[in-house]
Amino acid sequence: MKKIEAIIKPFKLEAVKAALTAIGVTGMTVSEVKGYGRQKGHKEMYRGAEYTVDFNPKVKIELVLAADQVDRVVDTIRGAANTEKIGDGKIFILSVEDVVRVRTGERGKTAI
């Protein structure tokens, strides 16, 4: 089992969710996050004075799935979230030891 953590631009969330639903992904967890990578922060003007926004707002999508589905899901996220501009985000793939469904106590793949 693998966990995918995708950091994307906030306005791409709807497109990514729709694309993932279309290929049969049944659930995900989403959170609003802030951060920067190569894009760095940016400068804004307020009443004639500059200020730096160091952390850009992003959305983090987390989903856990069977290892054989990873490539397809990653491609789908990339395809939907890509604007070909700096700051599009990153996708992290992590190994998951186990999954437990709270209601039934099921474990492993059946609990996903």
Q: Residue 47 Cβ, how far from another protein at the closest point, in Å?
A: 6
- CB nearer another protein, residue 46 or residue 102: 46
Alpha-carbon torsion, ordered 109, 16, 4, 105, to 10 deg: -30
Q: Residue 3 Cβ, how far from another protein at the closest point, in Å?
A: 26
By the criterion CB under 8 A, which residues form the site for another protein?
44-51
Instruction: List the one residue out of 9, 16, 63 whose CA is nearest residue 36.
Output: 9
Task: Report how far apart, in Å, the C-alpha atoms of 44 and of each of 40, 47, 91, 94 are.
Answer: 13, 10, 28, 36
Q: Residue 54 Cβ, how far from another protein at the closest point, in Å?
A: 12
